[in-house]
Amino acid sequence: MADAVGCGMLYVVNSLIPSANLVLDPALKPPGDLQAKLLRQIVLSGLGDHVARLVVELFFTVAFYFFVSSTVC
């Protein structure tokens, strides 16, 4: 499944930017420790808005729960 997704993404990039001429090397070695750390940082840097939204939603949910529970008892 991951190969099909990877090939699909390469097809999209190659069709939008023909000069890119990207290929998928099936003999590609896994990334090293430093490369894996940098890739993880790149991916997670784009998820900051999702994390912030989750924290805000969680804060208001907990605050509402305590407010409701303190007024009912």
> For the segment 9-68, what is each residue's pLDDT rounded down to a tens digit?
777 877 888 888 777 777 888 889 999 999 888 888 776 666 555 666 777 777 777 776
Q: What is the pTM of this model?
A: 0.39
Distance CA 43, CA 50 (A): 12
**Same-domain status, 40 and 23:** no
Total structural domains within the chain? 2
pLDDT of residue 71: 60
Which pLDDT does position 36 carry in this prediction?
Answer: 92
Does residue 10 sit in the same domain as residue 38? no
- State the Cα torsion 19-30-35-42 to the nearest 10°: 60
Residues 36 and 62 in one domain: yes
Q: In terms of domains, do 64 and 37 share one?
A: yes
- The tokens for 11 are 């097809």
3-state helix, strand, coil split of the chain in percent (to 5) is: 75, 0, 25
Q: Tell me, what's the pLDDT at 54? A: 60
Shared domain check, 66 and 40? yes
Q: Based on the fold, state whether residues 40 and 12 are members of the same structural domain.
A: no
Question: 1 pLDDT exceeds 50?
Answer: no
For residue 41, the enclosing domain spans 31-73
